[in-house]
Amino acid sequence: MSRTSTPQVSEACVDFMNIEFVRYAIESSKSSKEPGKSAAHKLERMGFRVGQKLAERYTRSRPRFTGELDRIKFLCKDFWQIVFKKHIDNLRTNHRGVYVLYDARFRWLLTLSGPGALEHAQDYIHFPRGLIRGCCAALGLSCTVSTDVPALPTCTFTVKITNKTTRA
């Protein structure tokens, strides 16, 4: 990872905090009295809240969205830039509420390697899945998000819009 002369708060800080999130959720699920609440569920819930707050903050002073696609573009460009310092590499849609977001180098999978890495990668996509759902919620879109890691560090997020509120 390249270093710039000005220390970048963001990237390393967010990355290391994310690693702790994952480790902690897994650990605490093991010792929890409520095993039904899985680490995946917890991580997604945390991601949801962070995503929602971030989207609320960063849409505060921008022009109104003109439609669903406009909102998804905000997610793929602005929101992804805010969290991951890059845009989603490819966006496809069936124009009926399904959007496939393709990140060729998903930052939270970049450091995984070795045997079991692909399996371990699953732990790292619950939080971002929540982030996406939270961002969409803040933009007035309910959705489900499924993920796929075909090969490290690639990640595909399939967003299915389930209903739309009238919030602009």
Of 66-74, 82-90, 91-99, 143-151, which segment contacts a second copy by CB under 8 A?
Answer: 82-90
Of 131, 133, 150, give the one whose Cα is nearest residue 142: 133
Q: Is 11 in the site for a second copy (CB under 8 A)?
A: yes
Q: Where do we find the tokens 């496939």?
A: 100
Candidate segments 54-62, 65-73, 108-116, 148-156, binder of a second copy by CB under 8 A: 54-62
Alpha-carbon span 136 to 120, nearest angstrom: 26
Q: Which is nearer to a second copy, 23 or 92 (CB)?
A: 23
Task: Tell me if 27 sits within 8 A of 38, measured CB to CB.
Answer: no
| Among 38, 41, 58, 117, contact with a second copy (rule: CB under 8 A) | 58
| Cβ 51 to a second copy shortest distance, Å | 9
* Burial group, residue 34, by CB count within 10 angstroms (0-12, 13-18, 19+): exposed
Cα gap 119→153, rounded to integer Å: 12
Residue 7: is the preceding peptide bond cis (ω within 30°)? no
Tell me: does residue 111 bind a second copy (CB under 8 A): no
Q: Compute the distance between CA of residue 77 and CA of residue 158 in angstroms, rounded to an integer.
A: 16
Question: Is position 105 an interface residue for a second copy (rule: CB under 8 A)?
Answer: no
Choose the binding region for a second copy from 28-36, 98-106, 135-143, 160-168 (rule: CB under 8 A). Answer: 28-36
Question: Which residues of this chain interact with a second copy, rule CB under 8 A?
Answer: 3, 7-14, 16-21, 24-25, 28, 31-34, 37, 42, 46, 49-50, 53-54, 57-58, 60-61, 78, 81-83, 85
